[in-house]
Structure 1
Amino acid sequence: MKQIASPLFRRVSTAGLALSAAIAALAAAGSASAEIQFQFQYQDRDVARMVSLGGTCNRCELSGRDLTGAAFTGAVFTNATLVGANLRGAELVGSNFSGSDFSRADLSGAEMVGADFTGANFSGADLSGAEAMGATLVRVRLAGADLTGAALNGANMNGAVMTGADLSTAELNAATLANVNARSANFSEAEIAMSNLSNGDFRSADFSDATLNGARLTGGRFGGADFDGASMNRTDIRGADLSGAQGLTQTQVSRACGDANTRLPGSLSTRVCRGVSGVRVVAPRPPAPPAPPVPPRSRNLVVASTDR
């Protein structure tokens, strides 16, 4: 085993050129003050076994890179470009990717717990099965994104653009979905209990068979939205415009909590619940992100490889 601590990279093998190119791209994209630590281990000359990235790299260019299973631990990659990147199974726990572009990237099965993606772009990205509990997704763009089966419990998605996104079977319990644009989004069979959907645009969204128990829909727009089979026990629909919603039954509405400003289709009528206040839905505090690792003494690039 040999180690090279130098800004220059040596050739590792023809099959490892893709990984070498990723390192070179990071070094070129980062500023002179950027501090990046890399560790590469090879199962053989053709397959990358582990990629670990940490430190700071603002505006890094990683579009189209194969970073399958990469571990970004406590990293700061603000305003990075990862368009079309392969991040399947990657770990982005506790890292800061605010303002970064993940459009059309593959993050299926990625670990994103406690990470900050404020203002990031995930348009058309694959986030199916991703774990993003407690993540900050404020004002993110998720138009056309695939979040089927994703775990977003406690995530803050205030002001997100989710038009046409697929969140079927996703877990969004105690999440913040206030002020979102989720027109034509698919929430079928999703768990959205105790979440805040206030003042959101959910026109033509699909909530069929979703769990909305204790969720807050106050001030939201739901024209053309489908609530067929949705569970709405003590759902706060005060001031919500459900006049154009589909699939609603009197049984569902009777279990929800409305007021004189609730607009319902047809002859449906709501009830006023005791103990429902304007701040009733309070999301639990998201888990604290893990502390970043202690940086090594050497801040140079480190490439570890095996010669044959």
Structure 2
Amino acid sequence: MAQADKSAEGRPFREGTPPMIRMMLLIILFMIMLFSLVANVVGERSGGRRINVIDEFGRGVTNTFNSADRIAPDLSGAIGKVDEGIGKLARLGAGGGEASGFTAATMNISNANFTGVQAAKSVFAGVQINKTQFVGALLDDASFEGAAGAAPNFTKARLANANFTAAQVPGADFSGATLHSAAMRAGDFSGANFAAADLTAASLSGSDLSKAVVTKAFAPGGLFVDTVADGADFTGADLRAAKFTNASLRDVKFAAADLAGAEFTGAKLQGADLTAANGLTAEQLQGACGDASTKLPHGYGLTACQ
């Protein structure tokens, strides 16, 4: 047993060294020897100097670390910019503050509080905004394109010319918000609250407004082309010259809504209630369709939907 131990001491590797590591070390050693032999043979035949492979290897390692030292300041600067952006977002999320042009694209800011923040022209494209608070925020020209999250709160926020194209924000609260000329096309605003919101010339074409509350909203010239607004409530809304072309308006309430000049060509009005609408003429309903449950002003008629 003692003889076995003594023999082991003379070996270059301990028995505990993994076979794979031993194999790799042997291959590396062999490659160094082979490179040394070839380099020196070539050097002798060409009249050049002999190469000390170990020295060359050491110089290569040194150059590598020197390159890393040169890169480090740039890398540090990049990391600093990331930290600065995260810190800026954190300060905004605490509520208040000004950050015009701030970008938070592709980030998750769910449950953050941006109440009263001044962030016009900021980019929140693709953000996650579940229950995020933007109450009273100044967000004119901001982009929320492709943003997603349930019940974000934009109560009384200023969002003129904002971009909510393809946003998925069911249950969002836009009550009292200014959305003048906002682009809200092809989004999910089902169950959203637009009560008393300014939707002048806003475009919600192709969006889902099912069961949305649009009561007393100011939306002259609003575009609701191809919109699905089944069960929505437009009671008391100003919808003068609004376009509901090809919209699905099943069971919609238009009581006391101003529909002067509104267009309903191709609209489906099954179960809709237009009995107390203001400014509506029979001619405006030509090209629309309904069913027996549609409620119309006295003397008006509709083609049955197929």
Whether these two folds match at TM > 0.5 is yes
- Does structure 1 conserve the Cα–Cα contact (< 8 Å) formed by 2:269 and 2:288? no
How many pairs were matched up?
229
CA RMSD of aligned residues (A): 2.5
Q: Comparing 134-143 with 17-26, which one deviates more in the overlay?
A: 17-26
Structure 2 residue 247 is matched with structure 1 residue 184: no
Q: 1:245 to 1:104 in 2, by over 3 A?
A: farther
Offset, 1:246: 5.6
1:131 paired residue among 145, 150, 168:
168
Query: 1:84 & 1:140 partners in 2: Cα distance?
Result: 17
Equivalent residue letter for 1:138: S
Q: Provide closer, same or farther for how the CA distance between residues 203 and 73 of structure 1 changes in structure 2, counting only shifts above 3 A.
A: same
Question: Which protein has the bigger strand share?
Answer: 1
1:248 matched to 2:280? The reply is no
Does residue 239 in structure 1 map to residue 302 in structure 2? no
1:257 pairs with one of 274, 295, 299: 295
Instruction: Compute the displacement of 1:106 (Å).
Output: 1.1
Once the two structures are TM-superposed, the CA of residue 126 in structure 1 deviates from its matched residue by: 0.8
How far apart, in 2, do the equivalents of 1:139 and 1:11 lie? 47
5 Å-filtered alignment, 1:39-58, equals: 57-58=94-95
Seen in structure 2, the aligned counterparts of structure 1 residues 231 and 253 have a Cα distance that, compared at 3 Å, is: closer
- Residue matched to 1:120: 157
1:173 matched to 2:173? The reply is: no
Q: Supply the AA of the counterpart residue of 2:204.
A: L
Matched, 1:99 2:162: no
Give the TM-score taking structure 2 as reference length: 0.68
Q: 1:218 to 1:175 in 2, by over 3 A?
A: same
In the alignment, the residues of structure 1 paired with residue 280 and residue 115 of structure 2 have an alpha-carbon distance, to the nearest angstrom, of 42
* Equivalent residue, structure 1, for 2:112: 75
The one-letter amino acid of 1:200's match is A
Q: Deviations over 1:282-303 (max 9, x none)?
A: xxxxxxxxxxxxxxxxxxxxxx
Q: Give the conservation status (yes or no) of the 8 Å contact 2:282–2:301.
A: no
1:143–1:251 CA distance, 2 compared to 1 (3 A):
closer
Return the alpha-carbon distance in structure 2 between the equivalents of residues 12 and 81 of structure 1: 31
Residue 60 (structure 2) pairs with residue 60 (structure 1): no
- Superposition deviation, residue 192 in structure 1: 0.6
3-state SS of paired residue (1:71)? coil
Equivalent-residue separation in structure 2 for 1:176 and 1:182 (angstroms): 13
Separation in structure 2 between the aligned mates of residue 183 and residue 227 of structure 1, nearest angstrom: 14
**Sequence identity (%):** 23
- Determine whether 1:152 maps to 2:189: yes
Shift of 1:207: 0.3
Q: Determine the C-alpha separation between the residues in 2 that align with 1:171 and 1:122.
A: 19
- 1:3-45 residue CA offsets vs partner (Å, 9 max, x unmatched): xxxxxxx996444565444345457x66xxxxxxxxxxxxxxx
Larger Rg: 2
- 1:231-262 deviations in Å (ceiling 9; x for gaps): 000101121024357641287366520355xx
* Between 248-257 and 218-227, the greater mean CA deviation after superposition: 248-257
Distance 1:230 1:107, change over 3 A: same
Identify the structure with the greater helix proportion.
2
| Partner in structure 1 of residue 23 of structure 2 | none
1:44-103 deviation line (CA, Å, top 9, x unaligned)? xxxxxxxxxxxx512132220121112112112210122111111001111211111221
Instruction: Give the number of the structure with larger relative contact order, counting CA–CA contacts within 8 Å between residues 6 or more apart.
Output: 1
Is the 1:92–1:115 Cα contact (8 Å) retained in structure 2?
Answer: yes
Letter of the structure 2 residue corresponding to residue 258 of structure 1 = L
Asked if structure 1 preserves the Cα contact closer than 8 Å seen for 2:140 and 2:158, the reply is yes
SS at match of 2:85: helix
Moved more, 13-22 or 158-167: 13-22
Whole-angstrom CA distance in 1 between matches of 2:271 and 2:247: 14
Q: Which residue of 2 aligns with 1:289?
A: none
